[in-house]
Structure 1
Amino acid sequence: MPVALLALALSAFAIGTTEFVIMGLLPDVAGDLQVSIPSAGWLISGYALGVAIGAPIMALLTAKLPRKKTLILLMIIFIIGNVLCALAYTYNLLMMARVITALCHGAFFGIGAVVASSLVAPGRQASAVALMFTGLTLANVLGVPLGTWFGQLFGWRATFWGVAIIGVLAFIALIVSLPTNKEEKPVHLASEISALA
């Protein structure tokens, strides 16, 4: 099993955790930022909107980049977004930070799945993609409850600092382990737009 698959799974774990952990922290966030819990709940919708909008936009913006560079760039956006979440001192800033964090989500999983399948022999491609998405499953089973517990113990901002640190570890792992594929076929924007249509 290539180490790069573990790097992709770690990245998926970080992304999945930051997406869902806010649910367990809503009362803490609402109290700290002086908004109602239903208003704080819009932070979940804001992230979902960022994913929906960000996936096609990021796919188009990064279409000419090599996949390794694209995944690394998306992790940088993810780290910056989580740091901004941890530093946000108003509800509006936190919403903006959540949307920024979400921009990388859909594109990372789409490109990551392609990269994961390219790391193994043809007969093991489905297993490679499944291994990467195991990170997302573990985010729901372990990351979210641990992140919620951590945030309730040390403050909700600590959870986002923690996820940002996991993002940095994933970023380093991607740089070190992902191979540079010299034979990648360039993506044509016209075909991407027609597929979107």
Structure 2
Amino acid sequence: MSNQHSEQALSWRRLYLSRAKLKASSRTSALLAGFAMVALVEISLPKELPGALIMCFSVITILLIVTHLFALLVSTCILPNIEAVSNVHNIHAVKESPHDSMNTYIEMSWIASTALGILLFLLEIMVLIWIQFYENYKKAGWVATALLIPALLSVCVFAYHFYHKLVTHKYKSYNTTIDELDDLATELQKNGTETPMVQDV
């Protein structure tokens, strides 16, 4: 009985974590994809702008929009099913949620929205600064590049450190849960072997 309650508690915890990830990725993706679309529509390209810079802007903008729309699509498709189950006041309803079977897509959506999407967003800002100040003040582009390179490296280091800590924490929590389940199984086996001996006496 305790074993069953522990498994259900873990399932509900995974459900709430998946729901929180999908909500965060949908909000972030909607905001940043909207910014990229506005930048694409409102930007005025100078006449003497190099073709390589225009190509760079178009490629980064497309990658940024596609990445965030993918995360938004996954969140929009999966989140209603998880929300429907999380609002049901029944312990066994967690089995009806797709958060375990769709966990790969949920993680992909979260990584695309946070890590990859933010990196592309920073690159987009750098290219926009180059485009805006290319004719009048090119030094602004060099300054933006010099500032954004360490920022990009910092984001990469933080993302690696964060995901490493997160994986370590999950590994420790799963090991703790497995140890608890082993202890419960050992106790149940002891109780199962002791009961017949008492009856024989």
Please confirm whether the aligned pair reaches a TM-score higher than 0.5, indicating the same fold: no
TM-score by length of 1: 0.28
TM-score by length of 2: 0.28
More helix by share: 2
